[in-house]
Amino acid sequence: MKISLKDAIEALRNGKVVGIPTETVYGLAASLHNVQAIKHIYHLKNRPEVNPLIIHTADIATIEEYAAEISPDFHLLAETFWPGSLTLILPIKENRIPSIARSGLTTAGFRIPNHPLALQVIQKTGPLVMPSANLSGSPSATLPEHVENDFGLNFPVLDGGPCNKGLESTILSFINGQWKILRLGSIAAESFQNVLGYLPEFLSSTGSKPTCPGQLFRHYAPKAKLLLGSLSTMPEGCFVLGFKERSYPQAKRLIVLGSLSCPDEVAENLYKALRQLDTEGALQAWVDIDFPRVGLWQTIAERLAKAAKQDNEDNKK
C-alpha cells in the first residue's frame, strides 16, 4: 500500500516497519532505537537473527557518535562516496546501538543513502535500520510493487518509483591495515583505487570465519532454476535473460537485461528480471553470462552466481 512521506514518518515514529526507497534497493525500515520494531523486521523477512542490519543516517556526525573508533581513511571514503551506495563497517560503542540491530557484534555497518525521500525520512525520524525489503533469500526489491509482492498489498511502502542503482551497497571493512570488500555492490571495486591508492581485496564468504554474516545465506534467488552460460550452452525453448545486442533464436521467452555497453542499465534491471521469471511461472531460465568481469559486471556476475545456487548446495545455512 503506497503511503505518503508524512505517513511514513509518522508510522516509523510509532514503531511501525515501513518500506522506504533508496537509490540501491528498497529498504525495510525501523527506528534504530525501537527494539520491538527491529525484531519485527527479522520476523517479517524470515531473516536469521545472526545476520546484522545496516544503520542508515543522514549525516556523518551521527555515525561518529556511535563509532568507538574511526578507521583510517574513513573520512576520505565518507566524503567521496556519501550520500551513496557505500556501507562502512566500524567498531561501535556497544551501549549506543541495540544488540539485536548488530546481531551482538561489536561493529556495525553505516550508510548515508543518496535518495531524497530516504534522507527526508531519516532527518525527521533519526537513524533507521534497513535491510533490503525482500523475503530472506529472494531477489531484492527495486520497485514498490516488489515490496508489496513479498509483504502483502496492505504493507506500507513509500513510493519512490524504481531504484536507479538496482544493486545493494558495496560493503567495506578495515581489516589488518587495509579496507577490504565484504560485499560487492553498486560501487565497483575499481572506484576505490584512486581514493585509497590501492584496490581493496574482496573477501569472499567461503572462509570458515565469515566477516559478513549475510554472505553465508542463500540470496537473490527466484523460484526458477537458473542455468548460467554462454550462447553455445543455451538449451532450446527456455526462458532467457539476455542482452539487447544479441539474438537468442531458440528462446521461448526473452527478458532483456539491458545493453552489453551499459552495465549500469543491467544492474538496474537485474532483480526486476529475476522477479519477472516468478511472475511468469518459469521453472527454469538460462542466463547469458558472456560479459567482461570488470567494474559493475563483477557484482552482476556474483549476484547471478548466488541466485543460481540450489537449495541442496551449502548456501542455505
Binding site residues, ligand TXA, CB under 6 A: 22, 24-25, 27, 51-54, 85, 87, 89, 102, 105, 107-109, 111, 113, 130-132, 168-169, 171, 182-183, 211-215
Q: Which is nearer to Mg ion, 244 or 309 (CB)?
A: 309
Euclidean distance between CA atoms 203 and 253, whole angstroms: 36
Q: Which is nearer to Mg ion, 88 or 183 (CB)?
A: 183
- Cα atoms in the 13 Å half-sphere on the side-chain side of 316: 13
Is residue 186 part of the contact set for Mg ion (CB under 5 A)?
Answer: no
Among residues 114, 132, 138, 276, the one that binds Mg ion under rule CB under 5 A: 132
- Binding partner of residue 52 among ligand TXA, Mg ion, none, CB under 5 to 8 Å per kind? ligand TXA
Q: Which amino acid is at 81?
A: F
Q: Which is nearer to ligand TXA, 248 or 271 (CB)?
A: 271
CB of 161: closest distance to Mg ion in angstroms? 20
Q: Which is nearer to ligand TXA, 92 or 251 (CB)?
A: 92
Is residue 170 part of the contact set for Mg ion (CB under 5 A)?
Answer: no
- Binding partner of residue 27 among ligand TXA, Mg ion, none, CB under 5 to 8 Å per kind? ligand TXA
- Per CB under 5 A, the segment of 131-139, 189-197, 220-228, 248-256 that binds Mg ion is 131-139
Contact between residue 136 and residue 48 where contact means Cβ atoms under 8 Å apart: yes
Beta strands in the chain (DSSP E): 2-3, 18-20, 27-31, 54-56, 86-91, 107-111, 128-129, 157-158, 170-175, 178-183, 201-202, 225-229, 239-243, 253-258, 284-288
The two beta strands, 284-288 and 239-243, are parallel
The two beta strands, 27-31 and 18-20, are antiparallel
In 3D, which of 164, 135, 120, 153 has the Cα closest to residue 20? 120
Euclidean distance between CA atoms 154 and 17, whole angstroms: 12
Helix (H, G, I), strand (E, B) or coil at 170: strand
Is residue 125 part of the contact set for Mg ion (CB under 5 A)?
Answer: no
CB of 193: closest distance to ligand TXA in angstroms? 21
Q: Which is nearer to ligand TXA, 162 or 213 (CB)?
A: 213
Q: Which is nearer to ligand TXA, 113 or 200 (CB)?
A: 113
How many residues of this chain bind Mg ion (CB under 5 A)?
1
CA angle 185, 187, 192 (to 5 degrees): 120
- What are the residues binding Mg ion (CB under 5 A)? 132
